[in-house]
Amino acid sequence: MAHTHDPLNPHSHDPNPAPPSENTDFQTTLPNGETRIITLDDLRGLPQTTVPDCYIVTTGHGTSGPFAFGGVRFADFVHHLWDGKWNVAEIISGDGFGTRLTADEANASTSRPILLAITIDDRPLTRADGLVRLIVPSETDDALKQVKWVGAIKIV
Ligand SMILES: Nc1nc2c(c(=O)[nH]1)N[C@H]1C(S)=C(S)[C@@H](COP(=O)(O)O)O[C@H]1N2
Ligand SMILES: [Mo]
């Protein structure tokens, strides 16, 4: 049987150090099928949240952090684009890595919300750092949800 690569089920824990491109814009697909191109300026224009004491826990490459990541709550990001109900979001990077989030996870009332991060320790994230990066502070055993270089988001 052919082995196909599913970006939402990454098996490799080898983190890719190299950005797929310099372009930080990404496409978002809404539940009605419409698409929007999201720029850094769009994200900068939304309310900003900082989550301190985040760690990137790699398998076999050690743990880095603590970092204070700043950016837009994922729930606020979706709400800005889509007023209605949604269930799941698929977040895929330009290098074919990704994860799935549920609306329940994103909307959970917590001081450590899921972010689309654009800053780290009060400075802009660089493209090499992963800009725009999904940060899931509750993931402390792995870094499979800490998606660097977000390239596409599909809201379902
Ligand atoms: N786009 C993208 N994001 C990714 C990965 C990747 O290969 N591509 N690897 C993941 C894994 S397995 C790890 S351990 C961390 C590594 O993050 P770091 O490069 O900031 O240390 O990024 C995660 N996010
Ligand atoms: Mo990893």
DSSP codes joined into one string, 59-120: SSS-EEEEEEEEEEEHHHHHHHH--S---EEEEEETTS-EEEEEHHHHH---SS--EEEEEE
Determine, yes or no, domain membership for 19: no
Q: How far is the CA of 138 from the centre of ligand 2 (A)?
A: 15
pLDDT of residue 14 exceeding 90, the answer is: no
CATH of the domain at 130: 3.90.420.10
Q: How far is the CA of 141 from the centre of ligand 2 (A)?
A: 10
Which three-class secondary structure state does DSSP give residue 57? strand
Determine, yes or no, domain membership for 16: no
45 is written with which tokens?
Answer: 């224009």
Chain segment 111-127, per-residue pLDDT in tens: 999 999 999 999 999 99
Q: Ligand 1 pocket by C-beta < 6 Å: which residues?
A: 13, 15-16, 56, 58, 64, 93, 95, 97, 130, 143-144, 146-149
User: What's the pLDDT score for residue 66?
Assistant: 98
Chain segment 34-92, per-residue pLDDT in tens: 999 999 999 999 999 999 999 999 988 899 999 999 999 999 999 999 999 999 999 99
Which residues form the domain of 55? 26-155
Of all protein residues, the one whose alpha carbon is nearest to atom 21 of ligand 1 is 56
pLDDT of residue 141 exceeding 90, the answer is: yes
Average pLDDT across the chain, whole number: 94
User: What's the pLDDT score for residue 4?
Assistant: 64
Q: Please identify, by atom number, the ligand 1 atom nearest to the C-alpha of residue 94.
A: 1
pTM of the full predicted structure?
Answer: 0.95
12: confidence class by pLDDT, cuts 50, 70, 90 = low
153: confidence class by pLDDT, cuts 50, 70, 90 = very high
Between the alpha carbon of residue 68 and those of residues 16, 44, 89, 132, the distances in Å are: 22, 17, 24, 15
Number of structural domains found in the chain: 1
Q: How far is the CA of 22 from the centre of ligand 2 (A)?
A: 22
Determine, yes or no, domain membership for 111: yes
CB contact burial 51-61 (16+ within 10 A = b; e otherwise): beebebbbeee
Determine, yes or no, domain membership for 6: no
